[in-house]
A and B are shown apart, each in its own frame.
Chain A
Amino acid sequence: MQITQPSRYAEFWSGVRAELPILLGVIPFGMIYGVLARSAGLSTALAIGTSSIIFAGSAQFIVAQLIGSGAPGLVIILTAAMINLRHMLYSASMAPRLKHLSPIWKYVLAYLLTDEAYAVAIAHYTATDPQPEPSPYRHWYYLGAGLALWSTWQISTAAGVILGAQIPKEWSLDFTLALTFIALVIPALKDRAAVAAALSAAVVGVLGNSLPFKLGLMAAALTGIIVGLWVESGAQTTKLKDAP
């Protein structure tokens, strides 16, 4: 049987399409950042430039707030680094999939590695892994998702900076982000270990939500990974014991 492989462009556009629902939540978030950055005292050019220089939503919010409150530079740098520490986990989880790519691809995809692009891209990698011959162009899917997010982020933050306009809070469009993550995480819960990882991370995420610098999120992620490994090795031992 001949399995037709999707072309680069097909992969790229599927990545763009997969990212579209998330953009609903990203647009108001970007616009609010634009408004906040201007009111914190960043110039128009710098407020817009930050979106491509840093390109990390929650870090940009906090950096703008800290600049506005006159915090010392070193404090702002360390805070931003703490907030973005979770990207190292994403990067490590992507690394095996990008191993064969040229350095330029790695630079570009690393730059595009945000919560929203990672969630969509890793779901695609995980879903297509079991295929006998997964497409050799899956990094184009990641590129499509990443660029869709990048350009939307640039346009919506610029719109916020220039127009100062806001989408009414009553629309609750920020909720689409949580809903997208639900849709991406549920199909990945294929065994007890993955469910245990998700549940334990959820509990620690709620308990640690008030901790500064997204430390609660880091603690939750590490807890989930450790619990997942522990349940998985428990399952393997049981299997061995049951074997005749």
Chain B
Amino acid sequence: MPLLLLIIIIGLITFALRAIPIFLIGRGEMPLLMRRALRFVPPAVLSAIVAPELLQPGGVLNVSLGNFRLLAGALAILVAWRTRSVLWTIAVGMGALWFLVWLKSSGILP
């Protein structure tokens, strides 16, 4: 199969997956159970993306003080909860990660 054709087919499938619910559900009233269920899509999907990033950096489960992404992420969760600000959460989270890496590289942390 020519590569261009392959890419176009994948593009069409991706678009269909994104468009079909918008067009079908937009037509009439949604069943109550479905309306209730959709409220949980954002917290469920976003947590499922974030949790492995914090607990399994590099693909291996690491729940220890040596896991800097977990420590920085925990601090970021606290900041997000107190400030509700995306910018503060990113600033403190990245700052904490860089600080921990710096402490390690300068020999202050083992």
Contact = CB atoms under 8 A, between A and B. Distances in A.
Nearest to A50: B7
A175 B53 CA distance: 8
B1 interface: yes
B17 A87 contact: yes
Given A21-B90, A184-B86, A217 B3 contact: no
Given A54-B11, A107-B19, A224-B48, A176 B94 contact: yes
Interface of B: 1, 3-4, 6-11, 13-15, 17-26, 30, 33-56, 59, 61, 69, 72-73, 76-77, 80-81, 84-90, 93-94, 97-98, 101
Given A88-B17, A115-B49, A184-B46, A53 B40 contact: no
Given A91-B21, A123-B42, A225-B41, A77 B48 contact: no
Given A176-B94, A187-B84, A198-B47, A95 B22 contact: yes
B29 to A, nearest CB: 10
A46 B10 contact: no
Contacts of B98: 172
A91 B43 contact: no
Interface in A39-88: 42, 46, 49-50, 53-56, 59, 63, 67, 73, 76-77, 80-81, 84-88
Nearest to B8: A53
B10 A178 contact: no
Interface residues of A, number: 90
Contact of A223 (B6, B44, B85): B44
B contact patch SS: helix
B61 A206 contact: yes
Nearest to B57: A175
A122 interface: yes
B42 A93 contact: yes
B46 to A, nearest CB: 4
A24 B87 CA distance: 11
Contact of B47 (A109, A111, A123, A224): A224
A95 B34 CA distance: 12
Interface string A93-128: 111101100010011011101010011001100100
Given A21-B87, A182-B73, A205-B47, A81 B17 contact: yes
Contacts of B59: 209-210
Nearest to B77: A182
Given A56-B14, A182-B93, 6 more contacts: A67-B3, A111-B19, A172-B101, A182-B50, A183-B76, A201-B51
Given A86-B45, A91-B20, A201-B47, A179 B90 contact: yes
Given A110-B18, A183-B89, A217-B45, A229 B36 contact: yes
Contacts of B14: 54-56, 59, 80-81, 84, 87
Contact of A91 (B1, B7, B18, B88): B18
